[in-house]
Amino acid sequence: MTAASQGGGPNGTVLTVETVPGYIASRPALAGLVAADGMSVTEVGDGNLNLVFICRGSDRRSLVLKQALPYVRLVGPSWPMTEERAAREAAAITAHSAVSSHVCRLIDFDPERHVLALEDLSDHTVLRTYLNTGGDHTGVAERLGGYVADVAFGTSFLALGEEQFRLRAAESINTELCALTEDVVFTEPFLGAERNSVRPDVQPQVDTLQQDAAWLDAALAMKLRFLTVQEALLHGDLHSGSVFVRRGHPAGPGPTTGGEADSTLSVKTFDSEFACYGPIGRTCWPPGCVLWCSTTSIAGDRCCGRLPQAGHPSRRGSGSCGRTAHRPGSTPMPSCGPGRIRSGWTPPASPAARRPAG
């Protein structure tokens, strides 16, 4: 059963493969970008929260539609989730694109139906998969570092001025998704939770850490910083699963609604619906999460006998606007962001049940 077939909103508001062509034709900003006649629509969203469609015309021009549902897509209507996260993502993309070129381009935003129209990056590969398959990562970290630095400065009071900074911070309040971050990133891994999934062979080490007062003090200090410090407009869920990469020529004619010149490394961030004003730097998010994903990849390379260094032959996968499938037989890199909700999780019974002490 697809998310669309589960309901979750007023009749006619949830997009389906059948209704997408008509929707595109009804949006002035989109109608001329993809030919409605013979349009191919594929629902590719394998994430946890949203519907994602790749829309490709007979002339090979394409774009992506991403619709926020009023619930967690992975679970269904039993776990409500605000649709306003789409507006937060649209605002974050706009703000980040103003200071960095390493952002998936926003073409249109429909606030009534909570739909973002984005450039199609099907010729890219999700960075997690790219690293897992030994892709040449030369220059990727530099571009991500540039993106983080540009966003950290460009959305701070140093660039905006005090008054505009305060206004931007107020407009970017993202209470519900920040609460999810506070739980699944800064609380439950350290204090424990029923929905945590831990392998039996590492459970003793986890138990030891969760009883280590210094470890818990450091973890909760990070949470305090996340809750109380507003320095810049963070991506909020930046890790190797929310970055697209492409090296060299795209496969065939590229989409006309976005993309970069051939023979270049393209690095694009996406999925910024957890965006909020928060702290930057080594002690918090997002740089630490990006470094963690990279370190995990290097450890995996060593275990698999691959050399974790620049120059490893690139292996391009088939990208999508959702996620790129892992190479058969490979070990997926663990996810670390709040947007990566495990399929085994169950929705909380109440807000109080979802917010552990600490």
The reported pLDDT for the residue numbered 72 is 82
pLDDT of residue 78: 85
The CATH class given to the 4-330 domain equals: alpha beta
Q: How far is CA 56 from the centre of its chain?
A: 23
Determine the residue type at 25: A
What's phi and psi for 270, nearest 5 deg? -150, 180
Task: With H, G, I as helix, E, B as strand and everything else as coil, classify residue 234.
Answer: strand
Ranges of each domain in the chain: 4-330
pLDDT attached to residue 226: 93
Q: What pLDDT is stored for residue 356 in this prediction?
A: 30
Please give the pLDDT value at position 289.
64
Q: Measuring CA to CA, which residue among 113, 92, 87 is closest to residue 104? A: 92
* pLDDT confidence of residue 46: 62
- Rounded CA gap, 176 and 87, in Å? 13
Distant-in-sequence, close-in-space partners of 64: CB < 8 Å, separation ≥ 6: 52, 53, 54, 55, 117, 118, 119, 120, 121, 321
Q: How far apart are CA 353 and CA 228, in angstroms?
A: 23
Give yes or no for a contact between 273 and 95, defined as CB atoms under 8 angstroms apart. Answer: no
Per-residue tokens: 62: 């394409």
pLDDT of residue 294: 66
Q: Which residues of the chain fall below pLDDT 50?
A: 1-11, 252-263, 282-284, 308-336, 340-345, 347-358
Tens digits of per-residue pLDDT, 217-241? Answer: 999 999 999 999 999 999 999 988 9
pTM: 0.78
Task: Give, in degrees to the nearest 5, the angle at Cα 233 between 227 and 237.
Answer: 75
- Segment 40-66, tens digit of pLDDT: 999 986 667 899 999 999 888 999 999
**What is the pLDDT at residue 144?**
92
